[in-house]
Structures are given as structure tokens and as C-alpha cells.
Amino acid sequence: MTTDRTLPTSFVWGAAASAFQVEGAAREDGRSESIWDRFCATPGKVRNGDDGEVACDFYHRYPADVALMKELGLDAFRFSVAWPRIVPQGRGAVNEAGLDFYDRLVDELLGAGIEPYVTLYHWDLPQVLEDAGGWVVRETAEAFVEYTEAVAGRLGDRVTNWITQNEPRVAAWLGYGLGIHAPGRRDVAEMLAAGHHILLSHGLAAAVLRRDVPGARVAIAIDLNPADPATDSEADRAAARAADGENNRWFLDPIFRAEYPADALERFAPAAPPVRDGDMATIAAPIDVLCVNYYTRRVVRAAEGGFADVYQGDSPHTDIGWEIVPDTLRELLVRLRDEYAPASISITENGAAFEDIRLHDGQVKDPERQAYIADHIAAVERAVEAGVPVEGYFVWSLLDNFEWAEGYRRRFGIVYVDYPTLERVPKTSFHWYRDYIAEHRRVAVAGGR
Ligand code: FCB
């Protein structure tokens, strides 16, 4: 097997998941309704009417799943905590039974030699908080501080790696602007307010973690979708710049420069984020790691309103329709280093949806997913060779799971989940990743890296 020659021994090999997508047990141990439960129950919002009531039943099956992670040889597992389990009413009373689950999970992971990476918010806002205005109102960021205190207070003695928010762009743009994700609102001003309060909640939570968890490594995960111009024309290049501003720099600039990008502010006007004195400094408090979720790029051309996507018919795509462009990840990492100089970067999501089929012999063969992962790891390696400080790589995802508005139809796992029985079937990509990690360790140790 060929393996990398660059990544250091300390490089963290991981897999990622999120609460709503895998846990199920939607009504157990005091969990309240989340915006995704409500969205799933709203006809026409989620493909096939799928919901998160059972999902992968990770809530009950986590010991067996951690055993799979151990077999894989993972250094780390990234999961999220479900806010509705911890503060079911959004403010006030903390539900100890909810914390108990994550307590057990953390212990199970540590017992297997796997480092827990905790994401505090992966989109499952308590519905009661949405009813009070959701991320559009500032109070939700304040509620997030209380929730963070509860989680940090319980897990902080064992968890070092914390990710405050997952993909603020998707939560705000798709949830409040485009109506594709929960809570399904469609309003530009609300979208900008939601995005701002999510970023603000990151900054506020970061301060809580620094105060309450000595030695915490604080991070935020953002999804980055580089935009390439369809042609070299000036108009298309301007379109790519506009797409980049609205989607990437809109989140990078506040975090690293304490400001929203001027060109994007202008494009959104007269709508504007509700920034108060001190907010931008709060958002820009130093982080230890920039977590990057990368799947694809977009190619855009000039169009009315700024830009339009141009489908790349000659390129390979995954089953969810995303173009496969590993080298864009290398370019992106180099750009992040050059323009924002993060202390460290971790790829906290990368993976591919393909229509997996279970064969008669019970196996699931997924050579396309395996190639996707291998090619993206190789791109990370090239970035590291170029001097970019990348410390880890997490496959999305360990298990097939609830893929938001796409329901269970899109399979991202390296482990197949047979939903009717909930049986787990490691795919060939699982075995490949296991061997890859083992080989990396052998070569790295032998080479003294
Ligand atoms: C990301 C999400 C993750 C998963 C992947 C495919 O945007 O963070 O939950 O759905 O996409």
C-alpha cells in the first residue's frame, strides 16, 4: 500500500458524526424537541419524510460503534452534543440525564484510546429557543453560553478539544435564508442576524471554555467552498470573488480580522448583520485550531444578482451531485495559511456520498469513496509539504446517517447501516482506512517523524 511520506507521527486520524444525524432516542431521558424534529415533521421538507427518531440508534449502540472505531485505529472521534438533551427548556434547568449520556460516551472513547472532539452545536437548536426567535435574536447566543457552561462543567475534566459551532454558514444561510434546512425561514436580514449571532455565540463560548477548562483547545468548524471563475473573463472573476465573499470570507474575516468583508456587506445592503460594540472583538478572540470542512468547490459565472453556478459536466461527481476536486483542498489550505495564518488547521469533515449496495455475500464495496478519501488525504499531504500546519483529518462519516434535507438516502459512511435492522457493515473503504492509518503510523515511526 502506498502511504504518505510527510505527515508527522502526531497527525490525528479521525472520523466525525453529529448528534441529530446518528443518535435517535429522540424522546428519551428528558430530551426536548429540536428544530430538526419540527422540520422533519413538516410535510415536504425532508426527502421521504425521514426523521431523527431512531437514526442509527447510536444513543444505545455507542459501545459497539466505539469498538468499530478502535478496530479502525482512530486517534479521535468528533461528535456533537445535543443541546435539547442538556437544557431542554432552552434556558434554566440542566438535565443531568442528558449529560450522563455524553459522560458515558467520553469514557467509552477514552477507554478505547480515542480522543473525544466535542462539537457544541451541530444544528439541533431546542425548538423552544426557535419559538423565542431562534438565532435571529441575540438572546440565543446568551442561552448558548449557559449551555456551554453545563457541558464544559461536566466533560471539561476529560475533553481537551472543543469545537463551538459547526458550519455557521449552512446553519444561517440554508436555515434562515434559503429555507432548505431547519428552521426553514427565508429572509436575508434574518439570515444575516442568525449568522452574526452564531459567530457571536462562538466567541462567547470560547471565553467560557478558556475560563472553565484549563488547557482547552478551542476551535470553530467552517465549511469552505472555494469559488473558481468559469472563464478567465473579468466578469467571471468578479463573480467568483463575490461568491467567495458571501460564503467564505464572510466567516473567515470576522474570525481572523474582526470585520465582515466590505464587498459582501455592500452586496447584502440594505440588509446588514446586527453588530453591537465589542461583538467583532469577541468573535475574533484567538482560536487554537481552525477546523475546515471541505467537500467540493463551485464554479461560477457572472449573472444577474452577482453569480450563478456552472455545472462541470466533464468532472466526476458524488451521488449528492458535488464535484470531486481534491486539489482544490490543497489550494484552499495554502490560501488559508497565506491570507489568515491560523495557528493550526484540522480537516474536521471530508467524505463522499455514493449509492452503496449490499452484495449477496453481505459486503459493501465502495471503491469510489475510498478513492475520494485517498485523493483528499494526498491533497492534505501536499499542503503540509508546502508548509501548511494541518494537524488532523476526520472522515465524514463513520456511519451512514441522516443527511439533513436529503434524509437517509445519501450514504456518507465508511460503515454501512442497514436501517431496518440497524446492523453495521464496514465497507471496503473502512478496511482501507484502517490499513492506511496503520501503515502511516509504521512509516512515520520508522522514519522518526
Ligand atoms: C456538512 C455537515 C454534516 C454532513 C456533511 C455531508 O455540511 O456538517 O453534518 O451533513 O455536510
3-state secondary structure 1-39: CCCCCCCCCCCEEEEECCHHHHCCCCCCCCCCCEHHHHH
**Separation of 218 CA from ligand 1 center, angstroms?**
20
Alpha carbon distance 253, 250 (integer Å): 6
Span 286-309, pLDDT tens digits: 999 999 999 999 999 999 989 999
Q: Check 23, 115, 349, 381 and give the catalytic one.
A: 349
pLDDT at 4 over 80: no
What does each C-alpha distance from 142 to 85, 131, 200, 205, 327 come to in angstroms?
Answer: 18, 15, 9, 9, 40
| Ligand 1, atom nearest to 170 Cα | 7
**Separation of 274 CA from ligand 1 center, angstroms?**
27
Q: Does ligand 1 lie within 6 Å of residue 124's CB atom?
A: no
Alpha carbon distance 401, 36 (integer Å): 14
Alpha carbon distance 188, 270 (integer Å): 10
| Ligand 1, atom nearest to 223 Cα | 7
Nearest to 121 by CA among 184, 214, 54, 197: 197
| Ligand 1, atom nearest to 320 Cα | 6
**Separation of 21 CA from ligand 1 center, angstroms?**
9
pTM: 0.98
Answer yes or no: 349 catalytic: yes
Span 96-148, pLDDT tens digits: 999 999 999 999 999 999 999 999 999 999 999 999 999 999 999 999 999 99
Span 340-388, pLDDT tens digits: 999 999 999 999 999 999 999 999 999 999 999 999 999 999 999 999 9
Answer yes or no: 167 catalytic: yes
Give the pLDDT mean for 44-67.
98
Q: Does ligand 1 lie within 6 Å of residue 140's CB atom?
A: no
Q: Does ligand 1 lie within 6 Å of residue 349's CB atom?
A: yes
Q: Check 23, 149, 167, 246 and give the catalytic one.
A: 167
Alpha carbon distance 373, 367 (integer Å): 10
Q: Does ligand 1 lie within 6 Å of residue 20's CB atom?
A: no
Contact in structure between 260 and 250 (CB atoms under 8 Å): yes
Q: Does ligand 1 lie within 6 Å of residue 170's CB atom?
A: yes
Q: Cell numbers 419540527 label which residue?
A: 38
| Ligand 1, atom nearest to 21 Cα | 9
Contact in structure between 437 and 425 (CB atoms under 8 Å): no
Average pLDDT, the chain: 97
Q: Beta strands 345-349 and 289-293: pairing type? A: parallel
Q: Does ligand 1 lie within 6 Å of residue 293's CB atom?
A: yes
Q: Does ligand 1 lie within 6 Å of residue 223's CB atom?
A: yes
- pLDDT band of residue 5 (cuts 50, 70, 90) is low
